[in-house]
Chain A
Amino acid sequence: MEFEQIYKTYWDRIFRLCMGFVNDYDIAQDLAQETFIIVWQKLDTFRNESAIGTWIFRIASNNCLRQIEKQKRFPKSDLPIHLSEEKQQSIEPQIQFLYKCIAELPETDRIIISLELEEVKQAEIAKIVGLSEANVRVKIHRIKEKLTQKFKENGKQ
Protein backbone atom coordinates (compact mmCIF):
# COMPACT_ATOMS: atom_id res chain seq x y z
CA MET A 1 0.00 0.00 0.00
CA GLU A 2 1.29 3.46 -0.88
CA PHE A 3 1.83 5.96 1.89
CA GLU A 4 -0.40 8.53 0.27
CA GLN A 5 -3.25 6.08 0.10
CA ILE A 6 -2.75 5.05 3.74
CA TYR A 7 -2.63 8.68 4.76
CA LYS A 8 -5.90 9.50 3.02
CA THR A 9 -7.66 6.39 4.28
CA TYR A 10 -6.53 6.49 7.87
CA TRP A 11 -6.00 10.13 8.78
CA ASP A 12 -9.56 10.72 10.07
CA ARG A 13 -9.64 7.49 12.04
CA ILE A 14 -6.24 8.09 13.62
CA PHE A 15 -7.11 11.67 14.41
CA ARG A 16 -10.28 10.60 16.24
CA LEU A 17 -8.35 8.01 18.22
CA CYS A 18 -5.89 10.69 19.33
CA MET A 19 -8.72 13.12 20.02
CA GLY A 20 -10.41 10.53 22.23
CA PHE A 21 -7.16 10.13 24.11
CA VAL A 22 -6.36 13.78 24.82
CA ASN A 23 -9.57 15.70 24.01
CA ASP A 24 -7.53 18.61 22.74
CA TYR A 25 -7.76 19.44 19.07
CA ASP A 26 -4.21 20.74 18.62
CA ILE A 27 -2.49 18.00 20.62
CA ALA A 28 -4.55 15.39 18.77
CA GLN A 29 -3.51 16.90 15.45
CA ASP A 30 0.14 16.70 16.58
CA LEU A 31 -0.21 13.11 17.77
CA ALA A 32 -1.83 12.08 14.50
CA GLN A 33 0.97 13.72 12.54
CA GLU A 34 3.59 11.99 14.66
CA THR A 35 1.83 8.70 14.01
CA PHE A 36 2.06 9.18 10.26
CA ILE A 37 5.69 10.20 10.54
CA ILE A 38 6.38 6.84 12.19
CA VAL A 39 4.24 5.06 9.61
CA TRP A 40 6.19 6.79 6.88
CA GLN A 41 9.50 5.76 8.42
CA LYS A 42 8.47 2.17 9.10
CA LEU A 43 6.35 1.37 6.09
CA ASP A 44 9.06 -0.69 4.43
CA THR A 45 9.26 -2.91 7.55
CA PHE A 46 5.56 -3.77 7.33
CA ARG A 47 5.35 -7.39 6.29
CA ASN A 48 1.65 -8.18 6.01
CA GLU A 49 1.83 -10.35 9.13
CA SER A 50 -1.15 -8.43 10.42
CA ALA A 51 -3.72 -6.26 8.73
CA ILE A 52 -2.35 -2.83 7.86
CA GLY A 53 -5.09 -1.29 10.00
CA THR A 54 -3.97 -3.22 13.08
CA TRP A 55 -0.42 -2.18 12.39
CA ILE A 56 -1.27 1.51 12.07
CA PHE A 57 -3.56 1.51 15.08
CA ARG A 58 -0.79 -0.07 17.14
CA ILE A 59 1.59 2.70 16.19
CA ALA A 60 -1.04 5.35 16.88
CA SER A 61 -2.06 3.98 20.28
CA ASN A 62 1.54 3.46 21.36
CA ASN A 63 2.27 7.02 20.35
CA CYS A 64 -0.66 8.18 22.46
CA LEU A 65 0.78 6.28 25.41
CA ARG A 66 4.10 8.03 24.84
CA GLN A 67 2.14 11.27 25.25
CA ILE A 68 2.13 10.52 28.99
CA GLU A 69 5.87 11.10 28.99
CA LYS A 70 5.58 14.37 27.12
CA GLN A 71 2.95 15.63 29.54
CA LYS A 72 5.51 15.13 32.28
CA ARG A 73 8.10 16.97 30.31
CA PHE A 74 5.96 19.98 29.49
CA PRO A 75 3.50 20.75 32.24
CA LYS A 76 0.18 21.87 30.83
CA SER A 77 0.62 25.42 32.09
CA ASP A 78 3.74 25.84 30.01
CA LEU A 79 1.96 25.16 26.78
CA PRO A 80 0.68 28.10 24.81
CA ILE A 81 -3.01 28.72 25.21
CA HIS A 82 -4.78 26.80 22.52
CA LEU A 83 -7.06 28.40 20.05
CA SER A 84 -8.89 25.14 19.72
CA GLU A 85 -11.56 26.14 22.22
CA GLU A 86 -13.07 28.37 19.60
CA LYS A 87 -13.20 25.55 17.11
CA GLN A 88 -14.78 23.27 19.64
CA GLN A 89 -17.52 25.74 20.45
CA SER A 90 -19.09 25.17 17.10
CA ILE A 91 -19.25 21.41 17.53
CA GLU A 92 -22.41 19.90 18.81
CA PRO A 93 -22.20 19.79 22.62
CA GLN A 94 -23.03 16.08 22.67
CA ILE A 95 -20.04 15.21 20.53
CA GLN A 96 -17.86 17.37 22.72
CA PHE A 97 -19.23 15.65 25.80
CA LEU A 98 -18.53 12.19 24.39
CA TYR A 99 -14.90 13.04 23.71
CA LYS A 100 -14.56 14.66 27.11
CA CYS A 101 -15.91 11.55 28.85
CA ILE A 102 -13.62 9.26 26.89
CA ALA A 103 -10.54 11.36 27.62
CA GLU A 104 -11.36 11.06 31.32
CA LEU A 105 -11.25 7.24 31.27
CA PRO A 106 -8.11 5.29 32.23
CA GLU A 107 -5.57 5.45 29.38
CA THR A 108 -6.01 1.95 27.99
CA ASP A 109 -9.80 2.19 28.19
CA ARG A 110 -9.62 5.31 26.04
CA ILE A 111 -7.80 3.35 23.36
CA ILE A 112 -10.14 0.36 23.57
CA ILE A 113 -13.37 2.35 23.32
CA SER A 114 -11.98 4.59 20.56
CA LEU A 115 -11.14 1.53 18.49
CA GLU A 116 -14.57 0.04 19.18
CA LEU A 117 -16.31 3.24 18.07
CA GLU A 118 -14.06 3.24 15.02
CA GLU A 119 -15.64 -0.17 14.25
CA VAL A 120 -12.42 -2.10 14.55
CA LYS A 121 -13.20 -5.80 15.11
CA GLN A 122 -12.81 -6.96 18.71
CA ALA A 123 -10.27 -9.58 17.65
CA GLU A 124 -8.21 -6.80 16.12
CA ILE A 125 -8.58 -4.60 19.20
CA ALA A 126 -7.25 -7.50 21.24
CA LYS A 127 -4.21 -7.67 18.97
CA ILE A 128 -3.62 -3.92 19.13
CA VAL A 129 -3.89 -3.61 22.89
CA GLY A 130 -2.44 -6.97 23.91
CA LEU A 131 -5.42 -8.44 25.75
CA SER A 132 -7.51 -11.54 25.15
CA GLU A 133 -10.63 -11.12 23.06
CA ALA A 134 -12.82 -12.07 26.00
CA ASN A 135 -11.18 -9.40 28.10
CA VAL A 136 -11.72 -6.81 25.42
CA ARG A 137 -15.38 -7.72 25.16
CA VAL A 138 -15.88 -7.32 28.91
CA LYS A 139 -14.01 -4.03 28.95
CA ILE A 140 -15.99 -2.58 26.07
CA HIS A 141 -19.22 -3.54 27.78
CA ARG A 142 -18.17 -1.84 31.01
CA ILE A 143 -16.91 1.29 29.30
CA LYS A 144 -20.14 1.65 27.35
CA GLU A 145 -22.13 1.32 30.56
CA LYS A 146 -19.98 4.00 32.14
CA LEU A 147 -20.45 6.33 29.19
CA THR A 148 -24.21 5.77 29.12
CA GLN A 149 -24.32 6.55 32.81
CA LYS A 150 -22.41 9.78 32.32
CA PHE A 151 -24.66 10.83 29.45
CA LYS A 152 -27.72 10.20 31.58
CA GLU A 153 -26.35 12.25 34.44
CA ASN A 154 -25.46 15.00 32.04
CA GLY A 155 -28.96 14.94 30.55
CA LYS A 156 -30.58 15.44 33.94
CA GLN A 157 -28.68 18.60 34.72
Chain B
Amino acid sequence: MENNNIDFKDLWKKQAVSQPNMEDLLERVSQFKKASLRSLWKTNIMLLATSAFIIFIWIYYQPQFISTKIGIVLVVLGMVVYLFVSNKLFGNYKDIDATQDNHEYLQKLVSIQKKQQFLQTNMMSLYFLMLTTGICLYMYEYASRMSILGASLTYGITLLWILFNWFYVRPKQIKKQQSKINSLIEKFEAVNHQLES
Protein backbone atom coordinates (compact mmCIF):
# COMPACT_ATOMS: atom_id res chain seq x y z
CA MET B 1 0.00 0.00 0.00
CA GLU B 2 3.00 2.24 0.30
CA ASN B 3 3.71 2.60 -3.38
CA ASN B 4 1.98 4.93 -5.74
CA ASN B 5 1.08 2.30 -8.27
CA ILE B 6 -1.90 0.52 -6.89
CA ASP B 7 -3.29 -1.66 -9.63
CA PHE B 8 -6.84 -0.39 -9.60
CA LYS B 9 -7.73 -2.28 -12.75
CA ASP B 10 -6.72 -5.54 -11.20
CA LEU B 11 -8.66 -4.86 -8.01
CA TRP B 12 -11.66 -3.69 -10.02
CA LYS B 13 -11.89 -6.93 -11.95
CA LYS B 14 -11.68 -9.09 -8.85
CA GLN B 15 -15.13 -7.99 -7.73
CA ALA B 16 -17.28 -11.07 -7.37
CA VAL B 17 -19.88 -11.24 -10.10
CA SER B 18 -22.68 -13.71 -10.54
CA GLN B 19 -24.38 -13.78 -13.88
CA PRO B 20 -28.04 -14.70 -13.52
CA ASN B 21 -29.66 -17.07 -15.98
CA MET B 22 -30.93 -15.41 -19.07
CA GLU B 23 -34.28 -17.13 -18.50
CA ASP B 24 -34.60 -15.23 -15.20
CA LEU B 25 -33.96 -12.01 -17.02
CA LEU B 26 -36.53 -12.70 -19.69
CA GLU B 27 -38.98 -13.66 -16.97
CA ARG B 28 -38.37 -10.22 -15.47
CA VAL B 29 -38.97 -8.59 -18.82
CA SER B 30 -42.44 -10.09 -19.01
CA GLN B 31 -43.18 -9.24 -15.37
CA PHE B 32 -42.08 -5.70 -15.98
CA LYS B 33 -44.33 -5.43 -19.01
CA LYS B 34 -47.32 -6.78 -17.10
CA ALA B 35 -46.76 -4.43 -14.17
CA SER B 36 -46.60 -1.29 -16.29
CA LEU B 37 -49.66 -2.38 -18.22
CA ARG B 38 -51.52 -3.00 -14.97
CA SER B 39 -50.81 0.44 -13.59
CA LEU B 40 -51.98 1.97 -16.84
CA TRP B 41 -55.19 0.00 -16.70
CA LYS B 42 -55.95 0.93 -13.12
CA THR B 43 -56.22 4.70 -13.70
CA ASN B 44 -57.93 4.34 -17.02
CA ILE B 45 -60.55 1.89 -15.86
CA MET B 46 -61.39 4.04 -12.85
CA LEU B 47 -61.94 7.12 -14.98
CA LEU B 48 -63.71 5.25 -17.74
CA ALA B 49 -66.09 3.66 -15.24
CA THR B 50 -67.00 7.08 -13.84
CA SER B 51 -67.60 8.44 -17.31
CA ALA B 52 -69.70 5.40 -18.22
CA PHE B 53 -71.76 5.94 -15.09
CA ILE B 54 -72.49 9.55 -16.06
CA ILE B 55 -73.40 8.60 -19.61
CA PHE B 56 -75.71 5.99 -18.17
CA ILE B 57 -77.46 8.72 -16.15
CA TRP B 58 -77.83 10.78 -19.29
CA ILE B 59 -79.51 8.00 -21.17
CA TYR B 60 -81.53 6.63 -18.28
CA TYR B 61 -82.90 9.84 -16.77
CA GLN B 62 -83.22 11.81 -20.04
CA PRO B 63 -82.38 15.30 -18.72
CA GLN B 64 -84.50 18.09 -20.21
CA PHE B 65 -82.24 21.12 -19.77
CA ILE B 66 -79.32 21.90 -22.04
CA SER B 67 -77.37 22.98 -18.91
CA THR B 68 -77.52 19.41 -17.60
CA LYS B 69 -76.11 18.05 -20.81
CA ILE B 70 -73.33 20.63 -20.95
CA GLY B 71 -72.56 19.79 -17.35
CA ILE B 72 -72.23 16.10 -18.11
CA VAL B 73 -70.03 16.81 -21.12
CA LEU B 74 -67.75 19.07 -19.06
CA VAL B 75 -67.28 16.49 -16.32
CA VAL B 76 -66.52 13.73 -18.79
CA LEU B 77 -64.25 16.02 -20.79
CA GLY B 78 -62.38 16.98 -17.62
CA MET B 79 -61.72 13.34 -16.93
CA VAL B 80 -60.67 12.63 -20.49
CA VAL B 81 -58.20 15.51 -20.43
CA TYR B 82 -56.80 14.31 -17.13
CA LEU B 83 -56.51 10.79 -18.45
CA PHE B 84 -54.84 11.95 -21.63
CA VAL B 85 -52.27 14.02 -19.79
CA SER B 86 -51.40 11.36 -17.25
CA ASN B 87 -50.98 8.83 -20.04
CA LYS B 88 -48.80 11.26 -21.90
CA LEU B 89 -46.60 11.75 -18.86
CA PHE B 90 -46.34 8.01 -18.58
CA GLY B 91 -45.29 7.87 -22.23
CA ASN B 92 -42.69 10.60 -21.82
CA TYR B 93 -40.60 8.40 -19.60
CA LYS B 94 -40.80 5.41 -21.83
CA ASP B 95 -39.83 7.34 -24.92
CA ILE B 96 -36.71 8.87 -23.43
CA ASP B 97 -33.84 7.64 -25.55
CA ALA B 98 -31.52 5.68 -23.29
CA THR B 99 -28.85 5.43 -25.96
CA GLN B 100 -27.76 9.08 -26.06
CA ASP B 101 -24.71 10.19 -24.10
CA ASN B 102 -24.98 11.00 -20.39
CA HIS B 103 -24.87 14.74 -20.93
CA GLU B 104 -27.82 14.73 -23.35
CA TYR B 105 -29.65 12.19 -21.26
CA LEU B 106 -29.45 14.33 -18.13
CA GLN B 107 -30.68 17.37 -20.04
CA LYS B 108 -33.59 15.30 -21.27
CA LEU B 109 -34.40 14.17 -17.74
CA VAL B 110 -34.43 17.76 -16.53
CA SER B 111 -36.68 18.88 -19.37
CA ILE B 112 -39.12 16.04 -18.75
CA GLN B 113 -39.29 16.90 -15.07
CA LYS B 114 -39.98 20.52 -15.93
CA LYS B 115 -42.69 19.57 -18.36
CA GLN B 116 -44.20 17.30 -15.76
CA GLN B 117 -44.12 20.10 -13.23
CA PHE B 118 -45.97 22.42 -15.59
CA LEU B 119 -48.53 19.83 -16.58
CA GLN B 120 -49.27 18.66 -13.09
CA THR B 121 -49.99 22.14 -11.77
CA ASN B 122 -52.00 23.39 -14.70
CA MET B 123 -53.84 20.21 -15.46
CA MET B 124 -54.89 19.78 -11.87
CA SER B 125 -56.37 23.30 -11.85
CA LEU B 126 -58.06 22.80 -15.19
CA TYR B 127 -59.49 19.48 -14.03
CA PHE B 128 -60.91 21.12 -10.91
CA LEU B 129 -62.42 24.00 -12.86
CA MET B 130 -64.09 21.78 -15.42
CA LEU B 131 -65.40 19.47 -12.74
CA THR B 132 -66.81 22.38 -10.70
CA THR B 133 -68.50 24.07 -13.64
CA GLY B 134 -69.82 20.75 -14.87
CA ILE B 135 -71.29 19.75 -11.52
CA CYS B 136 -72.91 23.18 -11.01
CA LEU B 137 -74.54 23.08 -14.44
CA TYR B 138 -75.59 19.50 -14.00
CA MET B 139 -77.30 20.18 -10.67
CA TYR B 140 -79.28 23.15 -12.01
CA GLU B 141 -82.09 21.12 -13.56
CA TYR B 142 -82.71 19.16 -10.38
CA ALA B 143 -82.24 22.14 -8.08
CA SER B 144 -84.74 24.18 -10.09
CA ARG B 145 -87.41 21.69 -9.07
CA MET B 146 -86.55 22.07 -5.38
CA SER B 147 -87.69 24.73 -2.92
CA ILE B 148 -85.38 27.75 -2.59
CA LEU B 149 -84.08 26.42 0.71
CA GLY B 150 -83.46 22.98 -0.75
CA ALA B 151 -81.71 24.40 -3.80
CA SER B 152 -79.47 26.74 -1.82
CA LEU B 153 -78.61 23.93 0.60
CA THR B 154 -77.68 21.61 -2.26
CA TYR B 155 -75.55 24.24 -3.98
CA GLY B 156 -74.16 25.52 -0.68
CA ILE B 157 -72.92 22.14 0.48
CA THR B 158 -71.55 21.21 -2.93
CA LEU B 159 -69.75 24.51 -3.35
CA LEU B 160 -68.37 24.34 0.19
CA TRP B 161 -66.96 20.92 -0.59
CA ILE B 162 -65.45 22.19 -3.84
CA LEU B 163 -63.99 25.27 -2.15
CA PHE B 164 -62.41 23.07 0.49
CA ASN B 165 -60.81 21.00 -2.25
CA TRP B 166 -59.71 24.03 -4.22
CA PHE B 167 -58.18 25.95 -1.34
CA TYR B 168 -56.95 23.12 0.81
CA VAL B 169 -56.53 19.81 -1.00
CA ARG B 170 -55.35 21.16 -4.36
CA PRO B 171 -52.56 23.46 -3.10
CA LYS B 172 -51.39 20.77 -0.71
CA GLN B 173 -51.27 18.21 -3.49
CA ILE B 174 -49.47 20.60 -5.82
CA LYS B 175 -46.97 21.54 -3.14
CA LYS B 176 -46.21 17.92 -2.43
CA GLN B 177 -45.64 17.13 -6.10
CA GLN B 178 -43.64 20.27 -6.66
CA SER B 179 -41.20 19.75 -3.84
CA LYS B 180 -40.57 16.23 -5.05
CA ILE B 181 -40.00 17.32 -8.62
CA ASN B 182 -37.97 20.36 -7.64
CA SER B 183 -35.50 18.34 -5.64
CA LEU B 184 -35.15 15.95 -8.56
CA ILE B 185 -34.55 18.77 -11.02
CA GLU B 186 -31.97 20.26 -8.70
CA LYS B 187 -30.19 16.95 -8.37
CA PHE B 188 -30.16 16.21 -12.10
CA GLU B 189 -28.92 19.70 -12.86
CA ALA B 190 -26.18 19.35 -10.28
CA VAL B 191 -25.06 16.06 -11.80
CA ASN B 192 -25.13 17.55 -15.27
CA HIS B 193 -23.07 20.46 -14.02
CA GLN B 194 -20.31 18.00 -13.15
CA LEU B 195 -19.91 17.51 -16.88
CA GLU B 196 -19.68 21.19 -17.65
CA SER B 197 -16.73 22.12 -15.49
Contacts and interface: CB of A to CB of B under 8 A. Distances in A.
A106 B8 contact: no
A59 B184 contact: no
A109 to B, nearest CB: 7
A38 B97 CA distance: 10
B22 interface: yes
B8 A95 contact: no
Interface string A67-110: 01100100000000000000100111011001100000011110
Given A61-B102, A65-B102, A117-B9, A152 B1 contact: yes
- The SS class assigned to the B binding surface is helix
Nearest to B113: A69
B27 to A, nearest CB: 11
Nearest to A60: B98
B99 A144 contact: no
B12 A117 contact: yes
B45 interface: no
A34 B96 CA distance: 15
B163 interface: no
A68 B102 contact: no
Q: Which 9 A-B pairs have the closest CB atoms?
A: A130-B103, A155-B1, A130-B101, A117-B12, A108-B194, A62-B105, A11-B19, A12-B17, A107-B191
Interface of A: 4, 7-8, 11-12, 15-16, 19-20, 29, 33, 36-38, 40-42, 45-46, 55, 58-59, 61-63, 65-66, 68-69, 72, 87, 90-92, 94-95, 98-99, 106-109, 111, 114, 117-119, 127-131, 144, 147-148, 151-152, 154-155
12 contacts: A4-B22, A8-B19, A15-B17, A37-B29, A38-B98, A40-B25, A46-B99, A58-B102, A62-B105, A72-B183, A130-B102, A152-B1
Interface of B: 1-2, 4, 6, 8-9, 11-20, 22, 25-26, 28-29, 32, 98-106, 109, 180, 183-184, 187-188, 191, 194-195
